[in-house]
Amino acid sequence: MSATNPLTQEATKNADDDIVSTETPVVDTNAQRTNYHWRYALISFALLWLVALVLYWETAASIVAIWIRSETYAHGFLIVPISVYLVWQRRKQLRQMVPVPNLMALPVLAVSLLLWLAAWVADVQLIQQLVFVSLIPILVVLLFGSAVARAMMFPLGYLIFAVPFGEFLVAPLQDQTAWFAVQALILSGIPVYWEGLYLTIPGGSFVVAEGCSGIRYLIASIALSSIYAYMTYRSYWKRAGFILLGIIVPIVANGIRAYGIVMIAYLSDMRIATGVDHILYGWVFFGIVMILLFWFGSFWREEPIDDSSALKKPQAGTVVPPANNYQMIIASTFAIIFLASGTYASSLLNASSAVTGQEVRLELPKSSGVWTGPIASDDAWQPSYSGADKTVYRQYQNQTGTVYFYVAYYGNQDNGKELVGSLNRVYDQEQWRRVQDNSVSVTMPSGKSVAVAETDIRSADKRRIVWHWYNINGAVTANRVVAKMLESWERLRNHKVDAMLVVVARDYTIDPQEARNDLRNFLENVGADIVVLNENVGTAKISIVAPDQQ
């Protein structure tokens, strides 16, 4: 054995230490490049979303305004935070993916904005709002790619609940609730007289008002059931099944609630559940129903799994390419151009169709046959149509009664000033209640048959049949969707739309057919000619059809 010099050993050790300390640290290039991808994509998304908010501010503000004024849609304030939280929950899995811009989303963005423009022309606020909210998932696909968008599919889809829609379901839900309550009362052996939305039992009467339709419970239930199904189940079939239960259960439960209110009032000699206390009872009942629904759904609960393996992420040994800034710039540039084009086109159309200094005078048909008029009406009833440029309310009389004739004219429509809107009614909800709706075919002096919408309404001391239709530059329809399409076509074709609501109404005592007979006779003999006198545009004769009264 040879001896070793301690000094030599120490020197060797120090030399080794020097070698180790001067080694270059190992850098995870893939992780750095992935971070760059995410950084550029997030910055671009924030920029584009800011541009969309600025350009489509009126649409965004209309959504928030409905959240504020309507308790039915107040949950909208929670939807965006919930969606953001669901995305944040998946942040670890998402960070393993590489965002890659998908330019194929640009045509989808262009078509969506064309749809927004068409909805703007037709003053269909709901479609504008749906398109605006859909910009979020479209921009995610464009800037982050399809794989990342699929990983965030539910949070992005959940944003649909931010759009305030469902008003069209109020009337059928009212009818369903009334039918259910009546059938339950009959099975309980309680005599009930049923007329549309009115229920009369020994001791008192009830009406299924719009607030009793259950629309609030239905929308809240669907939103809660969707997020519960997403967080509780992995199977798409189980998720769809539970959401379906979330639709059926509140409808049935609201019928039971209405029946329970009538029963409580009946058993208490109309002392309980006839005032605001039934509203509290309704929300408590709904809360119990939802708890029971979630408890029932928990029996099929599936444990969550780590689905990061299902995500598209770089495999071992795969090199993540550097961030392609040019592709991101191209996607962002075209997106901004498309976004700006939509609002620019709307401003051009708005400028071309604007009419200023407009003085409108409406002339109603003259009396004919047994009918005299038109004369000023002293009746308090008027349709609730806001923002009309001109309204006329007159009445005609014959030997048996009075026909009320109302016209609302819209020459310049805008948000809050729309002929066809979800808040418009042919009656004042504070004074009148709807009994039922029908469609009626009437014959005009020309012999042509026209379908009009019929609404049977009731106040504290009157019963009234109301017929109404829309008149768009002489084209007539009682269908709200068709009326919007006609407005869009006329606005694009003529840039000027004379749009009107035309209403005729007649009271009845017991049988509504007596009112219908008089209304038919009135339209057959007097007709519905309306002359629009405008200093700027001239004179136009508008009719329900082209009646020949010569």
Closest among 531, 471, 534 to 499, alpha carbons compared: 471
The answer on 533 and 388 residing in a single domain is: yes
Q: Which amino acid is at 352?
A: S
Is the pLDDT assigned to residue 4 strictly greater than 80? no
Given this model, what pLDDT does residue 340 score?
Answer: 94
- Structural domain contains residue 15: no
Given this model, what pLDDT does residue 376 score?
Answer: 87
- Structural domain contains residue 21: no
The answer on 218 and 141 residing in a single domain is: no
Residues 527-543: tens digit of each pLDDT: 777 777 665 555 555 54
- Structural domain contains residue 8: no
The answer on 364 and 347 residing in a single domain is: no
In the structure, what pLDDT confidence band is assigned to residue 26 with cuts at 50, 70 and 90? very low
Is the pLDDT assigned to residue 185 strictly greater than 50? yes
Is the pLDDT assigned to residue 25 strictly greater than 80? no
The answer on 63 and 38 residing in a single domain is: yes
- Per mean pLDDT, which range of 73-77, 276-280, 411-415 is the poorest? 276-280
Cβ distance 483 to 470 under 8 Å? yes
Given this model, what pLDDT does residue 449 score?
Answer: 75
Given this model, what pLDDT does residue 143 score?
Answer: 92
The answer on 173 and 161 residing in a single domain is: no
Given this model, what pLDDT does residue 498 score?
Answer: 80
CB neighbourhood size of 368 (10 A): 16
Q: Give the C-alpha separation, 206 to 184, whole Å.
A: 15
CB neighbourhood size of 418 (10 A): 23
In the structure, what pLDDT confidence band is assigned to residue 306 with cuts at 50, 70 and 90? low
Cβ distance 143 to 104 under 8 Å? no
Looking at per-residue confidence, does 34 or 471 come out higher? Answer: 471
Q: What is the mean pLDDT of the chain?
A: 80
Question: What number is the average pLDDT over the span 490-495?
Answer: 71
Percent of the chain with pLDDT over 70: 81
The answer on 368 and 342 residing in a single domain is: no
The answer on 445 and 336 residing in a single domain is: no
Closest among 335, 336, 340, 333 to 55, alpha carbons compared: 340
Best mean pLDDT range from 211-225, 329-343, 376-390, 419-433? 329-343
The answer on 372 and 241 residing in a single domain is: no
Tally the domains of the chain.
3
Question: What number is the average pLDDT over the span 111-117?
Answer: 93
- Structural domain contains residue 346: yes
Residue 175: which residues within 8 A CB-CB, separation 6 or more? Answer: 197, 436
The answer on 261 and 249 residing in a single domain is: yes
- Structural domain contains residue 548: no
Residues 133-155: tens digit of each pLDDT: 999 999 999 999 999 999 999 99
In the structure, what pLDDT confidence band is assigned to residue 550 with cuts at 50, 70 and 90? very low
Q: Is the pTM of this model over 0.75?
A: no
Give the residue numbers spanning the domain of 122: 29-165+328-352
The answer on 206 and 144 residing in a single domain is: no
Question: What number is the average pLDDT over the span 289-295?
Answer: 89
Classify the C-alpha dihedral 428-433-439-445 as positive or negative: negative
Given this model, what pLDDT does residue 370 score?
Answer: 83
Given this model, what pLDDT does residue 446 score?
Answer: 59
In the structure, what pLDDT confidence band is assigned to residue 423 with cuts at 50, 70 and 90? confident
- Structural domain contains residue 233: yes
The answer on 382 and 346 residing in a single domain is: no
In the structure, what pLDDT confidence band is assigned to residue 281 with cuts at 50, 70 and 90? low
- Structural domain contains residue 316: no
Given this model, what pLDDT does residue 400 score?
Answer: 83
In the structure, what pLDDT confidence band is assigned to residue 522 with cuts at 50, 70 and 90? confident
How is residue 222 written in tokens? 């669907």
What is the DSSP secondary structure assignment for residue 145, as one 8-state letter?
-
For helices 57-69 and 29-55, give the axis angle rounded to 10 degrees.
Answer: 80
- Structural domain contains residue 146: yes
The answer on 84 and 48 residing in a single domain is: yes
